[in-house]
Structure 1
Amino acid sequence: MTPPPPLPPGVFAHAFAVPGAAIDGNGHVNNLEYLRWMQDIATAHSDARGWTRARYAETRTSWVIRSHAIDYLRPAFAGETITVLTWIGGFEAQESPRHCLFWRDRDRKVLAKARTLWVFVDAETGRARTIPEAFRSAFEVVADEKPVLQALKATLPLALT
Structure 2
Amino acid sequence: MFRRGHMSWDRENPFVMSLQVSVSDIDALGHANNAVYVSWLEQCAWQHSNSLGLGVDEFHRLDRAMAVVRHEIDYLASAFKGDELLLGTWLTDWDKRLRMTRQFQLVRPSDGLTVLRAITTFVCIELSSGKPRRMPEAFIRGYGQALPSSL
TM-score range, shorter chain: 0.7 to 0.9
RMSD: 2.1
TM-score using structure 2 length: 0.86
Other-structure match for 2:82: 79
Other-structure match for 2:147: 141
1:106-125 residue pairs with structure 2 within 5 A?
Answer: 106-125=110-129
Other-structure match for 1:51: 54
CA contact (8 A) 2:64 2:135 kept: no
Q: Please tell me the residue identity of whatever aligns with 1:76.
A: A
Q: Which of 108, 129, 136 is 1:132 aligned to? A: 136
Secondary structure of the residue aligned to 1:137 is helix
Q: Please tell me the residue identity of whatever aligns with 2:103.
A: H
- 5+ unaligned residues in a row in structure 1: which ranges? 145-161
Superposition deviation, residue 134 in structure 1: 2.3
Q: Please tell me the residue identity of whatever aligns with 1:29.
A: A
Superposition deviation, residue 142 in structure 1: 4.1
Whole-angstrom distance in 2 between the partners of 1:4 and 1:14: 16
Deviations 1:98-150 (A, max 9, x none): 11100002111100100011111000000111122321222322499xxxxxx
- 5+ unaligned residues in a row in structure 2: which ranges? none
TM-score using structure 1 length: 0.81
Q: Please tell me the residue identity of whatever aligns with 2:47.
A: A
Aligned residues between the structures: 141
Q: Please tell me the residue identity of whatever aligns with 2:136.
A: P
Give me the identity figure in percent. Answer: 26
Whole-angstrom distance in 2 between the partners of 1:138 and 1:60: 16
